[in-house]
Structure 1
């Protein structure tokens, strides 16, 4: 859970990273658009021109209504070359070392790559072309959504990572209620026979043991004095009489055992049909300091006439006294479970261009991963594609990575 202090620290480190990058302090984020204005020539189709003497090719990625694919144009002395006269291959080396190989075939006035150029379009490119008996080779880098942050900076910023893997997704229903004593956790101490109270042994707030004498009463009928023991262990919550008073039917003491408590949740009709006894519930204090996973003990069969809510009881272990009777609590009742083969923390998800993404880490380099998502809960989100099992991704403070990439001007451009 991020505290205000941790958010302030993270924001301060983000500012430090931005200033460091502006001064050339080791930030490795790059974008094709940035490179376009500084590093390479654009061709007639707005692609990257690669020249070797009289021969040149223009690299483009076409994605208008189709999955991204290479369309590469050949030129000699800046005049179009018949694509059937060129043999071409391209290798894309991605962060982490994976290599995508592409072979090409002529189509219309260009060479079309066999296969999809998967996102992100961030890689080191090696190109080999054979034309008119001569071989031409080029190599360049084309990065997007990538940045480098030193380990010490990442640690100071609270950037945390974990490996993507299977997870149990739980659909929950939000509940609200309060902590109440269980019936067996409360005892009203009354005189067995009417008479005068001759001894009162405990004050409000004092602890008592089961069987300990709380009061002594002299019976009005027999004139014999008898002791009244406590039927439970607990704390004196109320003392309603003093020595010399006449004891009748009213309680002399009220004893409460705070270890025997449960949560009473008020459930609306639209949710009640999905709740059952024995379903798991995560109970949390409103401050978030205390939480426990318990089970629905019982669902009462009657509804409140005014609100139409029903009451669900959840037994709370309370040996340490963390749960106080009358305390407001919130809960999340688990109504279904799904085993996802691959999932990431929901809090790790960010927006990048038109995609929902996470940021993978390799060494000190972070790079965007565009995801196809499945089911989602507040804790976990299923990943259908875009991330490999075991791949390390940023699970906490991923917004800092996104901000660093956006600040650098990285974009998607071909």
Structure 2
């Protein structure tokens, strides 16, 4: 309610069943003034410098604004009214979803700024599978000639280098002793012999390179037409932040007789030996990719009232921008409207800004 001596203007924003619009009610000495006796204009100046001007026309018992009051409803307002030969002017701030955080405090809070711009939106399918050793990462080591095992130099779990001694065998034919060496660098996964055994055609040791692992995913019939060799895959654990980029290498030739699923094989980088055969692994397969004109980081999105928003940055001030959204991925979300191209926004740490706004109560009821 804006007052000037005996004259007053009630400024309201009406949005029941219509886009938000200004409606003004005039009073003199506390009594309603017919809207046809008043001329009014409202000017709002937004944080980013945009200026919106509204003219009004009489309707029923109020003056109705001639345009939609676009969100956010956060601006400096000027109201001018002419009635009975007198001119009334009011100026006041009307802010919501706005807060100021100094640059040093923003850095300390983990707020990182990016600009709204083009992005790549991936259509993905999530799959869950298990870690296996790469078939090419194992070797079965046998005796060259039948004979008696006279020495064993490696045990299960031992790390061995290529060319390292594994066992010594006394040949049954020549009675000469010969050595069995590791054909690859890796870990002794199985030891199937002991001193005194007589060798035959069965392997004595199985070696494995734990750094060469694969993620194997069951691909069910509903996804078979969409998932193909060569498609990118983001790999990670069921929990935690570990992530690896890879591609689908191939499919096993046979399908599961019960489920009809085929097995997609994906190389899984394992330089630190974290992944072990049998562990569960999650994959996100990119099946389509498209460029969009505007996108923001999905991490930046927050809920504000009934809207999904990001926080635009102007200097040290942050303010909500209500977004119209398209496709969403874990990394990027397509923006169809609500923010200008090139606008700086809080790509990381947006939850800090939201919490600061909620503490200050910088919102309004609708």
- Shorter chain as denominator, the TM-score bin is 0.7 to 0.9
Task: Provide, for residues 166-225 of structure 1, a one-character-per-residue CA deviation record: whole Å limited to 9, x for no partner.
Answer: 222222222222221222211111112211234444344444343445333333234444
Q: Which residue of 1 aligns with 2:335?
A: 383
In structure 1, runs of 5+ residues without a counterpart are 1-47
Q: Which residue of 2 aligns with 1:304?
A: 256
Query: 2: distance between equivalents of 1:146 and 1:215?
Result: 74
Query: 1: distance between equivalents of 2:15 and 2:294?
Result: 28
Does residue 1:281 correspond to 2:233, yes or no? yes
Q: Which residue of 2 aligns with 1:69?
A: 21
Q: Secondary structure at the match of 1:300?
A: strand
Query: 2: distance between equivalents of 1:75 and 1:248?
Result: 108
Query: 1: distance between equivalents of 2:302 and 2:34?
Result: 44
Q: May I ask how many residue pairs the two structures share in their alignment?
A: 366
Q: Which residue of 2 aligns with 1:369?
A: 321
Q: Which residue of 2 aligns with 1:90?
A: 42
Query: 1: distance between equivalents of 2:270 and 2:119?
Result: 29
Indicate the structure with greater strand content. 2
Distance 1:289 1:89, change over 3 A: closer
Which residue of 207, 221, 224 maps to 2:173? Answer: 221
Q: Secondary structure at the match of 1:232?
A: coil
Query: 2: distance between equivalents of 1:212 and 1:137?
Result: 93
- Relative to structure 2, which stretch is displaced further, 114-123 or 351-360? 351-360
Note the C-alpha offset of 1:298: 0.9
In structure 2, runs of 5+ residues without a counterpart are none
Which residue of 101, 117, 121 maps to 1:169? Answer: 121
CA contact (8 A) 1:290 1:322 kept: no
Does residue 1:260 correspond to 2:240, yes or no? no
Distance 1:79 1:285, change over 3 A: closer
Query: 2: distance between equivalents of 1:185 and 1:327?
Result: 17
Q: Map of 1:49-60 to 2, 5 A cutoff?
A: 50-60=2-12
Q: Which residue of 2 aligns with 1:353?
A: 305
Task: Provide, for residues 20-65 of structure 1, a one-character-per-residue CA deviation record: whole Å limited to 9, x for no partner.
Answer: xxxxxxxxxxxxxxxxxxxxxxxxxxxx3x3334544332222232
Which residue of 123, 140, 145 maps to 2:75? Answer: 123
Note the C-alpha offset of 1:337: 1.9
CA root-mean-square deviation: 2.9
Which residue of 272, 276, 286 maps to 1:324? Answer: 276
Q: Secondary structure at the match of 2:136?
A: helix
Q: Which residue of 1 aligns with 2:198?
A: 246
Q: Secondary structure at the match of 2:340?
A: coil
Query: 2: distance between equivalents of 1:260 and 1:174?
Result: 23
Which residue of 88, 95, 102 maps to 2:54? Answer: 102
- Relative to structure 2, which stretch is displaced further, 185-194 or 337-346? 337-346
Does residue 1:180 correspond to 2:171, yes or no? no
Q: Secondary structure at the match of 1:247?
A: coil
Note the C-alpha offset of 1:411: 4.2
Structure 2 length normalisation: TM-score? Answer: 0.87
Distance 1:133 1:261, change over 3 A: same
Q: Which residue of 2 aligns with 1:193?
A: 145
CA contact (8 A) 1:277 1:298 kept: yes
Q: Which residue of 1 aligns with 2:162?
A: 210
Note the C-alpha offset of 1:80: 4.8
- Relative to structure 2, which stretch is displaced further, 345-354 or 395-404? 395-404
Query: 2: distance between equivalents of 1:388 and 1:199?
Result: 76
Distance 1:313 1:413, change over 3 A: closer
Query: 2: distance between equivalents of 1:171 and 1:300?
Result: 24
Note the C-alpha offset of 1:282: 0.8
Q: Which residue of 2 aligns with 1:111?
A: 63
Q: Which residue of 2 aligns with 1:295?
A: 247
Query: 1: distance between equivalents of 2:244 and 2:363?
Result: 45
Distance 1:204 1:413, change over 3 A: closer
Query: 1: distance between equivalents of 2:107 and 2:10?
Result: 42
CA contact (8 A) 1:89 1:101 kept: yes
